[in-house]
Amino acid sequence: MVLPREHGTWMMFFLPYLLGMVLSGANWQHLFFMIGWFFVFLTSTPLLTIIRKPRHKRDMLPWVYKYSVIAIIFLLPILWLKPILLWGGAVLSLLLVVSVYFIKKRQERSLWNNLSGILIFSFGGTAAYIIGQGSLTKDAIMLLIITTLYFMSSAFYVKSLIRERKNTAFKRKSHIFHGLLLLMPFLISVPLLVITYVPSVCKDFLTPRKKAIKPIIIGIIEIINGVVFFIICLYVLR
């Protein structure tokens, strides 16, 4: 099978969706949509590979078809029941165009491209919330903001440890972003949410950058932090 190689994307897929599902009240529609959404997620790998390297089209195109068909089979019943989700599809299409733009410009590592991808995954949580509640609510939008900010903080942190480890200016930007992260809960009038970001902020400020850290260690740190974020969000938002 053709699967995403970036391990962080798996966390970005499951965490927002599970949060939206649990917080809105899980039902059978969530299972159908999650399977469909998962195969949309899988479709992105061969599709973007074709865009990056057209010579692989012959190998990748069958996987695009297979994954897409399965996604449509599971998504159609939910879209029929919750047509409001079609608006989300329109937004996701625009974000996909942004990703294609950065691929063509050979700037996939750009933080703006990271933001586009993160928004796509975070919309999964919003969709799950809509399925549970039946409509787009303030809480669904708040969940989108919360998870987007969390994963952007993760993007800053990981870049500052790997590609930008020797870039003191980027490390400063990462610290500034994490510092501002603590202000956001107060700006959206949910001050208790500041607790969800404290582990990420501590992680960013306390991790030394002088020596290289193995990617597997960084991955383990991110998984642990993601689980902590998930648990705290459930406690604060329920």
pLDDT single digits (tens) 157-199? 999 999 898 899 999 999 999 999 999 888 888 888 899 999 9
Specify the amino acid at residue 202. Answer: C
**pLDDT tens track for 4-63:** 777 778 899 999 999 999 999 999 999 999 999 999 999 988 998 898 888 989 999 999
Looking at the fold, whether 10 and 106 belong to one and the same domain comes out as yes
Determine the Cα–Cα distance for residues 132 and 119; give it in Å rounded to an integer: 20
User: Could you give the CA distance from residue 31 to residue 19 in angstroms, rounded to a whole number?
Assistant: 14
**Do 94 and 149 share a domain, yes or no?**
no
Contact indicator for 156, 178 with CB cutoff of 8 Å: yes
**118 plus 49 within the same structural domain:** yes
Same domain, 155 and 184: yes
- At residue 224, the pLDDT reads 93
Note down the domain range covering 72.
Answer: 1-136
Query: 127 and 164 in one domain?
Result: no
Residues 189 and 81 in one domain: no
Q: Which helix (H) or strand (E) holds 168?
A: helix 168-181
- Residues 77, 165 within the same domain: no
For the chain, percent of residues with pLDDT exceeding 70: 100
Count of domains for the chain: 2
Look at residue 106 and tell me whether its pLDDT is greater than 90.
no
- Whether 32 and 85 map to the same domain: the answer is yes
pTM (predicted TM-score): 0.92
The verdict on 128 and 194 lying in the same domain is no
Q: Given a cut of 80, is residue 1 above it in pLDDT? A: no
Dump strand ranges (E) for the chain.
Answer: none
Tokens (6 digits) for 182: 């603590």
Q: How many helices (H) and strands (E) does the chain have?
A: 10, 0
